[in-house]
Structure 1
Amino acid sequence: SDFDSLFYGFPKKTSVWESHGDTVTKIPNNFITIASTESVSFAAVKHNTRNIFGIQFHPESSHTEKGGLLFNNFITRICKIPLVPKKINVEEIIQQIKEKVGERIVIGAFSGGTDSAVAGALVTKAIGKKFIPIYIESGLMRQGTIKRIKRVFPKLLGMKVKIIMAKKNFLETLKRVVDPEQKRKAIGKLYIQLFEKELINTPQAHFLMQGTTYADFIHSKGTKHAAYIKSHHNVGGLPKDIKLELLEPLKYFYTDQVREIGLQIGLPKDVVFQQPFPGPGHAVRILGEVTAQRLEKQVLADAVLVDEMKKSKWYEKVFQCWTILTNSKSTAVKGDTRFFGDVVAIRIVNSKDRMSASWVDLPYDVLQRISTRIVNEVPGVSRVVYDITTKPPATMEWE
Structure 2
Amino acid sequence: MLNPADFIKESIMEIKNTVKDKKAIIALSGGVDSSVASVIAAEAIGNNLTAVFVDHGLLREGEAEYVETTFQDRLNFRFVDASAEFLRKLDGVEDPEEKRMIIGEVFIRVFERVAEEVGAEFLVQGTIAPDWIESEGKIKSHHNVALPHGLVLEVLEPIRELYKDEVRILGSELGLPEHMTQRQPYPGPGLAVRIAGVITPEKIHICRKANAIVEEEVHKEGLDKTLWQYFAVLTNTKVTGVKGDIRDYGYLVVLRMVESLDAMTADVPELPWMMVKTISQRITAEIPEVTHVALSVSDKPPSTIELA
Distance 1:269 1:198 in 2: 30
Match of 1:116 among 34, 37, 54: 34
- Radius of gyration: which is bigger? 1
Q: Secondary structure at the match of 1:277?
A: coil
1:142 equivalent to 2:60? Answer: yes
Matched, 1:384 2:300: no
* Deviation at residue 378 of structure 1 after TM alignment: 1.2
Equivalent-residue separation in structure 1 for 2:2 and 2:90 (angstroms)? 44
Q: Which runs of 5+ in 1 are unaligned?
A: 1-84, 222-226
Matching residue's letter, 1:159? L
Residues of 2 paired with 1:107 and 1:180: CA distance?
A: 28
Query: How far apart, CA to CA, are the structure 2 residues paired with 1:148 and 1:193?
Result: 24
Distance 1:205 1:86, change over 3 A: closer
Alignment partner of 2:156 out of 241, 244, 247:
247
Q: Is the partner of 2:64 in helix, strand or coil?
A: helix
d(CA) in 1 for partners of 2:222 and 2:2? 35
SS of residue in 1 equivalent to 2:115: coil
1:14-64 alpha-carbon deviations (Å, 9 max, x no partner): xxxxxxxxxxxxxxxxxxxxxxxxxxxxxxxxxxxxxxxxxxxxxxxxxxx
Matched, 1:366 2:284: no
In the alignment, structure 2 segments of 5+ residues that lack a partner are none
Question: In the TM superposition, what is the alpha-carbon distance from 1:86 to its structure 2 partner?
Answer: 5.5
CA contact (8 A) 2:24 2:115 kept: no
1:338 Cα deviation after fit: 0.8
Higher relative contact order, chain-length normalized (CA < 8 Å, sep 6+): 2
TM-score, structure 2 normalization? 0.96
* 2:97 is the counterpart of 1:181: yes
Partner of 1:214: 129
1:272 aligns with 2:181: yes
Match of 1:311 in 2: 220
Question: CA separation in 1, counterparts of 2:49 and 2:94?
Answer: 36
1:346 has 2:255 as partner: yes
Q: Counterparts of 1:31-110 in structure 2 under 5 Å?
A: 87-88=3-4, 89=6, 90-110=8-28
TM-score (norm 1): 0.75
Deviation at 1:315, TM superposition (A): 2.0
Report the 3-state secondary structure (helix = DSSP H, G, I; strand = E; otherwise coil) of the residue aligned with 1:330: strand
Amino acid at match of 1:102: K
Q: Residue 233 of structure 1 is aligned with which of 102, 123, 143?
A: 143
Alignment of 1:250-261 (within 5 A): 250-261=159-170
Taking the aligned partners of 1:308 and 1:162, their CA distance within structure 2 comes to 32
- Using the alignment, how far apart are the partners of 1:292 and 1:211 within structure 2? 29
Partner in structure 2 of residue 15 of structure 1: none
Relative to its length, the structure with more helix (as a share) is 2
* Residue 160 (structure 1) shift: 4.4
Residue in structure 2 matching 1:393, options 278, 287, 302: 302
Superposed displacement of residue 360, structure 1? 2.4
CA RMSD of aligned residues (A): 1.2
Counterparts of 1:320-359 in structure 2, within 5 Å, are 320-359=229-268
1:149/1:161 contact within 8 Å kept: no
Q: What amino acid is aligned across from residue 234 of structure 1 in structure 2?
A: N
User: 1:171–1:292: 8 Å Cα contact kept in structure 2?
Assistant: no
Alignment length (residue pairs): 306
Measured in 1, the distance between the counterparts of 2:156 and 2:101 equals 19
Q: CA deviation at 1:199?
A: 3.4
Contact 1:329 1:340 in 2 (8 A): yes
With 366-375 and 142-151 compared, the bigger mean Cα shift is at: 142-151
SS in 2 for 1:359: coil
**How far, CA to CA, are the matches of 2:242 and 2:149 in structure 1?**
50
Determine helix, strand or coil for the equivalent of 1:201: helix
Q: Tell me if the contact between 1:297 and 1:379 (Cα under 8 Å) persists in the aligned partners.
A: no
Secondary structure at 1:297 match in 2: helix
Rounded Cα–Cα distance in structure 2 between residues aligned with 1:86 and 1:150? 30
Taking the aligned partners of 1:355 and 1:317, their CA distance within structure 2 comes to 17
Q: Which runs of 4+ in 1 moved over 3 A?
A: none
Corresponding position: 1:193 with 2:109: yes
Distance 1:298 1:342 in 2: 10
d(CA) in 1 for partners of 2:27, 2:172:
21
Query: Is the contact made by 1:343 and 1:384 (CA closer than 8 Å) also made in structure 2?
Result: yes
Q: What residue in structure 1 maps to residue 79 of structure 2? A: 163
